[in-house]
Amino acid sequence: MARLRAGISGIAAIAATLIFSVSAQAETMPPAPPAAANCQNTGSFERWLADFRKEALAQGISRQTVSRVLDDMTLDQSIISRDRKQSFFSQTFTAFSGRLISGGRIKNGQARLKQHAELFARVEKEYGVPGPVIAAFWALESDFGAGMGDLSVLRSLATLAYDCRRGEMFRKEFMAALRIIDRGDLQPSEMIGSWAGELGQTQFLPTHYFTYAVDFDGDGKRNLLKSVPDVIGSTGAFIKSLGWRAGEPWLEEVRVPQNLQWDQADLAIQHPRSKWADWGVKTISGQPLKKDDLPASLLLPMGRFGPAFLAYPNFQIYPKWNQSLNYCITAAHLATRLDGAPAYNKGSQPIEELTYEQGKELQRLLVKRGFFNGEVDGKIGAGTRAAVKAAQMKLGMAADSYPTPELLERLGGRATPRARADKD
């Protein structure tokens, strides 16, 4: 299941809006890709709403719930504007993680782990998910409930379900929101949250709320807005559903030699940890890696001169939570920090970055050369990085998947690099 994020209100409330949010899909296949950001809506919202009302009743939603939610529903054009102007994920990993992994979040997270130690232990016993992993998501998504959003989730979902860009996805989310009300977990007036329709302290979209939320405090309801036991238990249950393997690591910072086969650094490529050890990869303290068969991928979010991480099978749950690799590594590293690991090493030298406009130019050139068929939006996601790797290999460059001014120039672009040491 590719859990495609629509926007994370906790982070958005702190830093900006995000490009992707948790998918409404409970199926194993990813949802359909969104339409272009400049797609045009046809037909009135009122007509769409009338059709949705009929569908909801046909699917067994009670007339009372349908009436309470839909009778006074109106379109919110500002939600459509937000959805089409997201830019936070155009940042580099070090800039992104530097904003989100703060000393305050680490201190607060460690305090919550201590405060709710018995609860976290109960959740780990039942679902196999360690407390620091849950606490990291809790921190990033809402700052432990402080930033869940202040908009009507129902109005946001209705607007996004009507909009042409991701209407199919959000139609399912809107229907699930009605089911949550019908089940008695929340009242319509309580459904306040993200502009992208997410609810609760770890920001579940309604399909995941309806499917995976658990009543961990025993009061007969699943309340992810106010009940800490329900929040922690439901997050553990959902992470387990994504494939978490109890008792195994998820991410480890490492040292890499300068003669490594850089094209092997890819989340899609796994080797036994023993092979990485044979290739000279070591722990961050310089000690030999364990020589076992645990599969691992090497991640170089800033290229071969930046921080390096081994991602183990449990890391694979992170792209199912959020497709942004920057978010995934940030959340996983924050979990290791809460578990006692030090801050990551930012690299052996200043790293050149592309500006937003240079990123768009690079994408245009990658499209022109046949390496890339995605949207030219300046956001360097997994698709762009795969195209960068292919271009680097074709041009005989070190294929570490990191977009550089040198690559832009080799493809025929004009680059004025901005070097950042990211040591602050």
Please spell the DSSP secondary structure of 260-322, one letter per residue: S-GGG--TT--EEHHHHHHTT-EETTSPBPP-S--EEEEE-TT-TTS-EEEE-GGGGGHHHH-
Q: Do strands 271-272 and 418-420 pair parallel, antiparallel, or not at all (unpaired)? A: unpaired
Q: Which two tokens stand for residue 226?
A: 């106010």
295 contacts 271 by C-beta, under 8 angstroms:
yes
The CATH T-level fold of domain 351-420 is Muramoyl-pentapeptide Carboxypeptidase; domain 1 (1.10.101)
**For 9-86+148-241, which CATH class?**
mainly alpha
Residue 155: count other Cβ atoms within 10 Å of its Cβ: 19
Per-residue pLDDT of the chain (424 residues; tens, 9 = 90+): 334 444 444 443 333 323 233 332 222 334 455 666 678 888 999 999 999 999 999 999 999 999 999 999 999 999 999 987 755 556 889 999 999 999 999 999 999 999 999 999 999 999 999 999 999 999 999 999 999 999 999 999 999 999 999 999 999 999 999 999 999 999 999 999 999 999 999 999 999 999 999 999 999 999 999 999 999 999 999 999 999 999 999 999 999 999 999 999 999 999 999 999 999 999 999 999 999 999 999 999 999 999 999 999 999 999 999 988 999 999 999 999 999 999 999 887 788 889 889 999 999 999 999 999 988 988 888 899 999 999 999 999 999 999 999 999 999 987 664 444 443 3
Q: How many CB atoms lie within 10 A of CB 27?
A: 11
Instruction: Give residue 36's pLDDT.
Output: 64
Separation between Cα atoms, residue 223 and residue 225, nearest integer Å? 6
What pLDDT sits at residue 380?
86
Domain definitions of the chain by residue range: 9-86+148-241, 251-338, 351-420
Task: Write b or e for each residue in 205-234: b if 16 or more Cβ atoms lie within 10 A of its Cβ, otherwise e.
Answer: bbbbbbebbbbbbeeeebbbbebbbbbbbb
Q: Is the sign of the CA dihedral 188, 210, 178, 62 positive or negative?
A: negative
- Residue 52 neighbours by CB distance under 10 Å: 20
Q: Which residues make Cβ contacts (< 8 Å) with residue 196, sequence separation at least 6? A: 5, 6, 7, 8, 9, 21, 82, 83, 156, 160, 205
CA 184, chain centre distance (Å): 29
Residue 401's region, left for phi above 0, alpha for psi from -120 to 50, else beta, is: left
Phi-psi map region of 68: left, alpha, beta (phi>0 left; psi -120 to 50 alpha): alpha
- Asked if 291 and 273 count as a contact pair (C-beta separation under 8 A), the reply is yes
Q: What is the pLDDT of residue 28?
A: 31
